[in-house]
Chains A and B, each alone.
Chain A
Amino acid sequence: MSNILEVSGLGKAFRDYGSEFKRFASWFGVTVTPRHEHWVLRDISFVVGRGEAIGIVGQNGAGKSTLLKLITRTLMPTEGSVAVHGRIAAILELGMGFSPDLTGRQNVYHAAGLMGFSRDQIDAAIPDIEAFAEIGEYFDEHVRTYSSGMQMRVAFSVATAFRPDILIVDEALSVGDAYFQHKCFKRIKEFREQGTSLLIVSHDSGAIQSMCDRAVLLQGGRVVRDGDPVEVMDAYNALIAERENSTMKVERLETGQVQTTSGTFEAVVKEIQLYAMDGERIEFIDVGQDVELRIDVEARADIPRLVLGYMIKDRLGQPVFGTNTFHTRQVVDDVPAGCTVSYVARFTMNLGPGSYSISTALVSTDTHLVDNYEWRDLALIFTVANHSHAHFVGSAWIPPKIDIKSLP
């Protein structure tokens, strides 16, 4: 059995029967048609392999929470099925079921009991839980005297006291101070190395791209994308920008990468190229070389206010540098249809060796959420190589002057 979670044809509808008596009748075999069915999820199918880390992304209301509730069995599916081959633990609602009038230790027994563990199992785990929470003597104090951070520490320690086969994590979950946060992520990583699969819910593309093998994008209760995290996050960003009469185009480039473009296309990037200072087009750039990024924008409609933004991303899709002409106070007003605006950005390529991409955004203000004329991922791909400097690693070029003194 290599799949640990199989979701097939899953759907969830909230039903309004008009009269509750009809609902009662439906339990006893009477066929009743609900007055109104509201489907929040439909036709969801995906599998999670053992040890795999899957990111689940989607806008608010896309059905992420409902999906997780169906997987953790707090909600029952209306159609389809969820097959889980192992134990699930979720760190979504930490501290649920904690009683303020019990001590930390008593609450641990209670919460672990709620997870279905026997007294002996909890007895065996309690030293670990106490040690991991690191709240000292407070462990035997009433929870009502705890700070919220302390409560989180205890709650996280119980929730992860027993290694689950699937761990559901809300990435945005705050588990106290930075120290403890690091400790939590370390534990999650250790679980993963031991074969636990992860389901991570997040809005943060960085976290999804750095932690997940795959991502699933939900939109309107359906899976719109399931695949490589970088591609899925690009599609997600495009979705956020999507407005009325805006469309989304997905193309496979010659390099095999998937390019996502979206927006109203009232203004488009016609041409984007990197040039060396001698005016020659280049694709391979030396570390520390001065370059010009030339972008020609064509207005296809009258644009009252045009802002160009670009973002350099590394090969994992992590942002390296991004800015826009709103922040640089170079907004272009009243661009008539048919007009082309040329931008030239000069900068020094202070990047480490590797492959990079540039995404562009044409908008009316500093975010792409108001008017999104065009959002283009992977608009340009270039490679930085290190020809003329001493060997170094990393994505930034921060040349040091190293002084060495030997003291006798």
Chain B
Amino acid sequence: MSELLRAVWRYRNFILSSVKNDLKARFARSRLGAAWMVLQPLAQVAIYSVVLSRVMGAKLPGTTNQYAYSIYLMAGMLAWSLFIEVVTRSLTLFVDNGNLMKKIYFPRATLPFIAVGSALVSNLFLFIATIFIFAIVGHPPTWAFLWIPLLVAINVAFSLGLGLLLGVINVFVRDVGQVMAVVLQLWFWITPIVYMPSILPAGFGRVIAANPLFYIVSAFQNVLLYGQGPALIPLAWTALGSVFLLAIAFLMFRRAAPEMVDVL
């Protein structure tokens, strides 16, 4: 593992320039450029706000701000957009870079770092835009916001662990990519992002409780909307599980690496 990290450190220059190029290439020749990183998730928030605010607005206890539901949405969306970006990128990471891996030798472990790096940058922009909008609607930052870096770290560990594991399998069994497209849609709806867990019928609570992303998303909501610290015990378990998942994913990646190029 230390050998892997050393290789990644030696290639740090490459990782940085790849992240930069990735962002540049994604928005090359579009008028609004990097603004799209922020505009897309915000547009989604706006749609849900308009469509659902009447239904959901009244159901947020303990809030006084009239935009409470929008703030709730944005908090959840901030966590979800990082998750979905890291997972979808990692899922096709090796397949997309297959040609490069076949032709040129470089430490393969740099690829997940590039994917995470570029997801983090776009998420940072979204976070800044979110804070800005919060300020406009009269919801200034609180000290609880200091939890955010830790929450982001746990989110990345979980997303990358899951994405990398599936990404490695996807090289050999391409169905995984297709299945995940559907699974991720379902996942969005079994995670309380546009609704509150309180409105669910009783039997449904167990499904939500089994969803690790629920603890991450609700921590974001606690911190950003209510200005409270997250629920520590479930968060600690989630963090532990995420790190474990990530370790397994990296182990699997190391084992699979020699055979990966054979089938790409």
Chain A residues proximal to chain B, CB less than 8 Å: 14-15, 20, 23-24, 27-28, 69, 72-76, 90, 92-93, 96-97, 99, 101-102, 106, 109-110, 113-119, 122
B25 interface neighbour in A20, A24, A72, A99, Cβ under 8 Å: A99
Q: Which of B22-38 contact A (CB under 8 A)?
A: 24-25, 28-29
For B15, the closest partner residue in chain A by CB is A113
For A101, the closest partner residue in chain B by CB is B28
Chain B min CB distance to A280 (Å)? 61
Chain A min CB distance to B136 (Å)? 34
Q: Is A97 within 8 A of B104, CB to CB?
A: yes
Q: Is A27 within 8 A of B255, CB to CB?
A: yes
For B169, the closest partner residue in chain A by CB is A24
Q: Is A109 within 8 A of B101, CB to CB?
A: no
Report B-chain residues with C-beta under 8 Å of the C-beta of A117. Answer: 13
Report B-chain residues with C-beta under 8 Å of the C-beta of A119. Answer: 13
A102 interface neighbour in B21, B106, B173, Cβ under 8 Å: B21
Q: Is A27 within 8 A of B104, CB to CB?
A: no
Report B-chain residues with C-beta under 8 Å of the C-beta of A20. Answer: 172-173
Report B-chain residues with C-beta under 8 Å of the C-beta of A24. Answer: 169, 172
Q: Is A116 within 8 A of B262, CB to CB?
A: no
A93 interface neighbour in B29, B104, B252, Cβ under 8 Å: B104
Q: Which of B5-23 contact A (CB under 8 A)?
A: 10-11, 13-14, 17-18, 21
Q: Is A109 within 8 A of B258, CB to CB?
A: no
Report A-chain residues with C-beta under 8 Å of the C-beta of B235. Answer: none
0/1 interface trace, chain B 199-217, chain A, CB 8 Å (1 if under): 0000000000000000000
Report B-chain residues with C-beta under 8 Å of the C-beta of A93. Answer: 103-104
Q: Is A73 within 8 A of B252, CB to CB?
A: no
Chain A min CB distance to B126 (Å)? 23
Interface residues on B, range: 20 to 34
| C-alpha spacing A76/B261, complex, angstroms | 9
Interface centre among A102, A113, A116 (most CB of B within 10 A): A113
Q: Is A116 within 8 A of B106, CB to CB?
A: yes
Q: Is B198 an interface residue (CB 8 A)?
A: no
Report A-chain residues with C-beta under 8 Å of the C-beta of B59. Answer: none
Could you name 9 residue pairs across A and B whose Cβ atoms are closer than 8 Å? Answer: A14-B262, A15-B259, A24-B169, A90-B104, A102-B24, A109-B17, A116-B10, A116-B14, A119-B13
Q: Is B105 an interface residue (CB 8 A)?
A: yes
Chain B min CB distance to A97 (Å)? 6
Q: Is B103 within 8 A of A74, CB to CB?
A: yes
For B22, the closest partner residue in chain A by CB is A99
Q: Is A110 within 8 A of B17, CB to CB?
A: yes
Q: Is A23 within 8 A of B259, CB to CB?
A: yes
Report B-chain residues with C-beta under 8 Å of the C-beta of A27. Answer: 252, 255-256
| C-alpha spacing A205/B27, complex, angstroms | 49
| C-alpha spacing A74/B104, complex, angstroms | 6
